[in-house]
Amino acid sequence: MYPAVHAQTDPHRPAVVMAGSGRTVTYGQLEDESSRLASALHARGLRKGDVVAVLADNAPEVFSILWAALRSGLYITPVNRNLTSSEVAYIVGDSGAKVLFASAALADLSVAVAAEVKPESLIAFGGAVDGFESFEEVLASAGAPLGDRPRGADMMYSSGTTGRPKGVKSRMLPIQVDQPGDPITGLLSQAFKVGPQDVYLQPAPIYHAAPLKWAGAVQALGGTVVMLEKFDAESALQAIQDHRVTIAQFVPTMFVRMLQLPEAVRTSYDVSSLRLAVHAAAPCPPDVKRAMIEWWGPIVFEYYGSTEQHGITLTSSPEWQQKPGTVGKAMIGIAHICDDEGNELPAGEIGSVYFERDELPFEYHNDPEKTAAAIHPQHGTWTTVGDLGYLDEDGYLFLTDRKSFVIISGGVNIYPQEVENLLTMHEKIFDVAVIGVPDAEMGQSVKAVVQLKEGVEAGPDVEREIIDYVRANIATFKAPRSVDFVDSLPRTPTGKLVKRELTRRYEPQGV
């Protein structure tokens, strides 16, 4: 489904509204911009399967680029704006992006990236950026709209255990101009009955998978996206009240921050328009979830999925209250639990979580070995991302571990191996492990456990030096919040780090 459908029936309906500035793009404008941009990209030689990368803050232009790509058979790759220039350049280069779109709000970063990697076209919006064409001028010079074209898809980047990001290419689907064409749009249409009457609050960075895909799905179904420039607890409540938001999606940390507001402040906002509040991306502390249900009523839904979008489970408030800890029943795909040999396990037994689909739903860009490793050894359309869990007798999924000890802090994935690789070469460090430890606000925080070289004395100065070293070399959100010093780390005789033994030391007692 494309904006053209809604532009024809109600061109003045808002497709996206910026909560802070009030800037609004209607469906008529979104259709016009995305159509002209698609024509301009075609004139630059882009064809089915080519890639465009987007480096942006939360800006309405992202949706024009999204729909231009989707209506042109292109892959769109949003890039985390908090990465360093070399990290962004790696993703842009690895993806093979022929065009890099950049926000003028990120001008310095964009110029640094363009100096490291050379896409065929550089296009900036929201203002001038040295060396970039103007988005507005590109639109103004575009030719006539194109005819029917193949449907595009997203290619989101998600780091693996090696610390190097890998592109996850969603399967391109046939064009369905007036029908939901992808799993998320189908889920919102069928399970939640989303339509033109709905207003969706988008509080998270738009470069993440769920924010981009859910906002795009709401637009596919004719709803209005209200987007925060940046998440703030009170601003989110203000937006819900002012725009009569009906649907919102959060990560658990956002719940925590809203609950931390003085009661007189948070209860002063009218949130009665909400009919659905969805959370995902990280485990939600039970007390936090109970508090949200008490505050907002039984409208809190949780879903479990991944960037690979190979399957999704969903649970309502009443279901979760009956089965605390569940992430729900499968809504997209059929869930299976298998042992290391691929044998399916009975209810209650822990194993790898697979989802069965009619066709292989994704592949890892430039990494056929990783793609093959995600596929079940006997069933070619069952895939896993490495999470562990079990199904109960009623088919509800419970997760027991996260893949490869990924750290989930504030809903953002942080991969320990990347930090470990960096610190291994530090002149004062003999051995190091990076783990996630419980954090009341963020869910988890990053901790480095360090064995110093002989003769180096542990203390606050060395701790600060290690943290600053990480912050100076990779994105700051990946840096340890704390450092513990130990005499040795648990390793097998072959040198393999026994990380589970290490993480147990930091697990809450009595749980």
Judge whether residue 174 has pLDDT over 80. no
How does 25-46 read in b/e, with b if 16+ C-beta sit within 10 Å? bbbbbbbbbbbbbbbbbbeeeb
Superfamily of the domain at 409-504: ANL, C-terminal domain (3.30.300.30)
Is residue 435 classed as helix, strand or coil in its secondary structure? strand
Distance between CA atoms of 84 and 478, rounded to whole angstroms? Answer: 11
CATH number of the domain located at residue range(s) 305-401 in this protein: 2.30.38.10
Which pLDDT score is estimated for 403?
63
Which pLDDT score is estimated for 286?
81
CB-based contact 75:52 (threshold 8 Å): yes
Q: For residue 506, give every residue at least 6 positions away whose Cβ sits within 8 Å of its Cβ, in sequence order, or none.
A: 435, 437, 438, 447
Which pLDDT score is estimated for 347?
98
Domain positions in the chain are 3-230, 305-401, 409-504
Q: For residue 119, give every residue at least 6 positions away whose Cβ sits within 8 Å of its Cβ, in sequence order, or none.
A: 53, 92, 97, 98, 99, 100
Distance between CA atoms of 140 and 39, rounded to whole angstroms? Answer: 11
pLDDT tens for 341-387 read 999 999 999 889 999 999 999 999 999 999 999 999 999 999 999 88
Question: In what helix (H) or strand (E) does residue 373 lie, and over which residues does it extend?
Answer: helix 368-373
Judge whether residue 115 has pLDDT over 80. yes
Judge whether residue 126 has pLDDT over 50. yes
pLDDT tens for 52-110 read 999 999 999 999 999 999 999 999 999 999 899 999 999 999 999 999 999 999 999 99
pLDDT tens for 192-216 read 999 999 999 999 999 999 999 999 9
Half-sphere exposure for 369 (CA within 13 Å, toward CB): 1
What percentage of the chain carries pLDDT values higher than 90? 73
Average pLDDT over residues 37-57: 96
Q: Count each helix (H run) and each strand (E run) in the chain, helices first.
A: 17, 27
pLDDT tens for 417-450 read 788 888 987 999 989 999 999 998 888 999 999 9
Q: What integer best gives the mean pLDDT of the chain?
A: 91
Confidence of residue 288 (pLDDT cuts 50, 70, 90): confident
Predicted TM-score of the model (pTM)? 0.85
Distance between CA atoms of 58 and 414, rounded to whole angstroms? Answer: 21
| In CATH, 3-230 is 3.40.30.10 | no
pLDDT tens for 238-258 read 999 999 999 999 988 899 889
Judge whether residue 486 has pLDDT over 80. yes
Which pLDDT score is estimated for 204?
93
Confidence of residue 511 (pLDDT cuts 50, 70, 90): very low
Closest CA to 233 of 210, 205, 256: 256
Is residue 405 classed as helix, strand or coil in its secondary structure? helix
Which pLDDT score is estimated for 162?
45
CB-based contact 110:135 (threshold 8 Å): no
Distance between CA atoms of 316 and 4, rounded to whole angstroms? Answer: 33
User: At residue 323, what is the residue type?
Assistant: K
Closest CA to 355 of 395, 315, 385, 382: 382
Encoding tokens for residue 500? 């589970």
What percentage of the chain carries pLDDT values higher than 70? 95
Sequence-ordered strand ranges (E) for 229-290:
247-250, 276-279
User: At residue 41, what is the residue type?
Assistant: L
pLDDT tens for 181-192 read 678 898 899 999
pLDDT tens for 490-503 read 876 545 677 878 88
Distance between CA atoms of 69 and 354, rounded to whole angstroms? Answer: 30
CB-based contact 198:224 (threshold 8 Å): yes
Distance between CA atoms of 346 and 395, rounded to whole angstroms? Answer: 11
